[in-house]
Amino acid sequence: MKYEKEISRRRTFAIISHPDAGKTTLTEKLLLFGGAIQTAGAVKSNKIKKHATSDFMEIERQRGISVATSVMTFEYKDCLINLLDTPGHKDFAEDTYRTLTAVDSVILVIDSVNGVEAQTRRLMEVCRMRDTPVIVFINKMDRDGKNRFDLLEEIEKELKISLHPMTLPINSGKDFKGVYDLHTKSLLLFTANTKADEEDAFAINDLNDKILDDKIGERDAAQLREDVELVDGVYGKLNVEDYLAGKIAPVFFGSAVNNFGVKEMLDTFINVAPTPLCRETNTREVCPGEDKFSGFVFKIHANLDPKHRDRIAFMRICSGRFERNKYYHHVRLDKDIRFSNPYSFLARSKDVIEDAYPGDVVGLFDTGNFKIGDTLTEGEDFYFTGIPTFSPEIFKELVNKDPMKTKQLEKGVQQLTDEGVAQLFTQFGGNKKIIGCVGELQFEVIQYRLLQEYGAACEFRTLPFYKACWLTSKDEKKLEDFLRFKQTNSAEDKDGNPVYLAQSEWFLNTEITNNPDIQFHFSSEVHK
């Protein structure tokens, strides 16, 4: 395999969680272990606080932070770790789903007090679709949380994944004494604000050893012996193959804010987490060790300075070696382009890089060549699949408030939707522009950015749709007739693909039943 040394030391992953479970805190601790930051508090939360949903400066601040922390690369024990950030706010969920297409595994953070929450469920659905390997970190054990076994059961049931405890907690809240590491057979005693090299760990090969009673007291020692026996009986040894296949998730208990239990997880992570994986394209599977370079764009970020329209496209490298100043083939546009200032996200600063390897993410300056999902190769014509667009949840008509600025508005909408901020549909038969988003906040972002960056004023009129379905049919005539009869509910997406906009589940089911020759799809992937 070419570049084997570089590929085998890379781990590319994302941390996902419901807001407030501790994603930012855990990220910070991992960066501290990797030496990428020196002090706590250096990683800013990318959350938009609830009270600030209509505060535009807050949106801008968020954009600033999220570009700076989009990818965090650090080294730990010979491994090169690429941590891809995902937005905290649920209205940007689509952004998170796309980022998940660029990682090889995830760490899921669960708040021990709240258990499984709404966003955890949705994120895990996306992980399950792709069989992404998951490690679970049950956080905030220093708070009075749910019973450890109830939590495990809840996670297994709600997230439809089998778990494998790697550590077991000894109590929680103010009685939290630490964890027992089932793998290394050692006891880790809890102290608040643990430094990386100051862990209080004791090897306990025989759990019946009196030292356990001395360390945590007789009652808790007896309970731990019982717990370990139970867990050993039920779970046995971790089957890494099952983890890599996305069937089993190793679980760690800890407290991110106290840096407790984090190192154990990180050590396991670098041992078991997958190195860059092969990826599907429309023609064949592409593997990292191939000679020739390939990669795809999963995120586009506009320049924060409205005077400069250039953007940064984030490209995940899938195979071969990416080199600065070399011409690569842009498959969709069928043209060759090169990049003189690609940058990486190593440690604290953005650095221009000479080359990069599979698993890495490079930032490419873009003057409008890229759309989400675009593929670059060394000449071969294929594109990476599995970067779907899902149906938006809110639909609004875009109303131009200044006819003198029509051109600017069109350009702005085009560019913002290329970035993946929202989806654009054009109604059949009319020219009504429909914007679809996951959350209300995105409409505010669009309105604000169109005015600030393109000088175009617009407003939105609510439409009664609840879902968009992409349509295909072997019988073109039937599809055409359907689109004509259902004109008010028919539109085309940005790439000209036919879409049915359903008013309600009832309408959708009726149309599906009445039109057996037409297929209704819930993602745009079918049209690639």
Min. distance of Cβ 146 from ligand G4P in angstroms?
14
Where does this chain touch ligand G4P (CB under 6 A) — which range of 138-146, 172-180, 206-214, 405-413? 138-146
User: C-alpha angle with apex 497: 391 to 388, nearest 5 degrees?
Assistant: 40
Q: Which of 24, 268, 415, 515 binds ligand G4P (CB under 6 A)?
A: 24
Binding status of residue 142 toward ligand G4P by CB under 6 A: yes
Binding status of residue 225 toward ligand G4P by CB under 6 A: no
Q: Which of 10, 23, 329, 521 binds ligand G4P (CB under 6 A)?
A: 23
Q: Smaller CB distance to ligand G4P: residue 20 or 393?
A: 20
Q: Smaller CB distance to ligand G4P: residue 25 or 423?
A: 25
Q: Which of 255, 319, 447, 489 binds ligand G4P (CB under 6 A)?
A: 255
Q: Smaller CB distance to ligand G4P: residue 97 or 370?
A: 97
Q: Give phi and psi for 276, each to the nearest 5.
A: -50, 135
Binding status of residue 136 toward ligand G4P by CB under 6 A: no
Min. distance of Cβ 275 from ligand G4P in angstroms?
27
Where does this chain touch ligand G4P (CB under 6 A) — which range of 13-21, 287-295, 474-482, 503-511? 13-21
Give me the 314-353 binding string for ligand G4P, x by CB under 6 A, dash otherwise.
----------------------------------------
Contacting ligand G4P within 143-162 (CB under 6 A):
143
Q: Which of 73, 82, 132, 139 binds ligand G4P (CB under 6 A)?
A: 139
Q: Smaller CB distance to ligand G4P: residue 70 or 417?
A: 70
Q: Which of 9, 44, 47, 128 binds ligand G4P (CB under 6 A)?
A: 47
Give bridge partners of residue 279 from the DSSP assignment. Answer: 286
DSSP run (H or E) holding 335: strand 335-337
d(CA 487, CA 483): 6
Looking at residue 517, the DSSP 8-state letter turns out to be: T
Q: Which of 67, 161, 257, 262 binds ligand G4P (CB under 6 A)?
A: 257
Helix, strand, or coil (residue 516): coil
Q: Which of 140, 177, 396, 449 binds ligand G4P (CB under 6 A)?
A: 140
Binding status of residue 256 toward ligand G4P by CB under 6 A: yes
Q: Which of 7, 14, 16, 21 binds ligand G4P (CB under 6 A)?
A: 21
Residue 254, burial from CB neighbour count under 10 angstroms (0-12, 13-18, 19+): buried
Q: Which of 45, 186, 303, 426 binds ligand G4P (CB under 6 A)?
A: 45
d(CA 55, CA 445): 10
Place of tokens 């060759």: 336
User: C-alpha angle with apex 102: 97 to 104, nearest 5 degrees?
Assistant: 105
Q: Which two tokens stand for residue 317?
A: 């490298």
In 183-293 the beta strands, taken as DSSP E runs, fall at: 186-189, 200-203, 248-253, 279-280, 285-286
Q: Which two tokens stand for residue 304?
A: 């924060």
Binding status of residue 17 toward ligand G4P by CB under 6 A: yes
Q: Which of 2, 8, 9, 20 binds ligand G4P (CB under 6 A)?
A: 20
d(CA 418, CA 206): 59
Min. distance of Cβ 240 from ligand G4P in angstroms?
27
Place of tokens 């679970």: 136
Q: Which two tokens stand for residue 301?
A: 């970020």
Binding status of residue 22 toward ligand G4P by CB under 6 A: yes
Q: Smaller CB distance to ligand G4P: residue 17 or 423?
A: 17
Contacts of 371 (CB under 8 A, 6+ apart): 297, 300, 332, 418
Binding status of residue 169 toward ligand G4P by CB under 6 A: no
Contacts of 457 (CB under 8 A, 6+ apart): 400, 401, 402, 405, 450, 451
Number of residues binding to ligand G4P, judged by CB under 6 A: 19
Q: Which of 25, 119, 400, 427 binds ligand G4P (CB under 6 A)?
A: 25
DSSP run (H or E) holding 94: helix 93-100
Helix, strand, or coil (residue 271): helix
Binding status of residue 88 toward ligand G4P by CB under 6 A: yes
Q: Smaller CB distance to ligand G4P: residue 93 or 376?
A: 93
Q: Which of 19, 276, 288, 436 binds ligand G4P (CB under 6 A)?
A: 19
Looking at residue 281, the DSSP 8-state letter turns out to be: B
Q: What is the DSSP secondary-structure string of 392-444?
A: PSEEEEEEES-GGGHHHHHHHHHHHHHTTSSEEEEETTS--EEEEESSHHHHH
Place of tokens 């599906």: 512
d(CA 356, CA 12): 13
Where does this chain touch ligand G4P (CB under 6 A) — which range of 19-27, 180-188, 443-451, 460-468? 19-27
Binding status of residue 292 toward ligand G4P by CB under 6 A: no
DSSP run (H or E) holding 499: strand 498-502
Binding status of residue 30 toward ligand G4P by CB under 6 A: no
Binding status of residue 427 toward ligand G4P by CB under 6 A: no
Q: Smaller CB distance to ligand G4P: residue 25 or 319?
A: 25
Q: Smaller CB distance to ligand G4P: residue 88 or 274?
A: 88
Contact by Cβ (8 Å): 446, 416: yes
d(CA 499, CA 108): 34
Min. distance of Cβ 369 from ligand G4P in angstroms?
33
Do β-strands 394-400 and 433-437 pair in parallel, antiparallel, or remain unpaired? Answer: antiparallel
Which residues lie near ligand G4P (CB under 6 A)? 17, 19-25, 45, 47, 88, 139-140, 142-143, 255-258
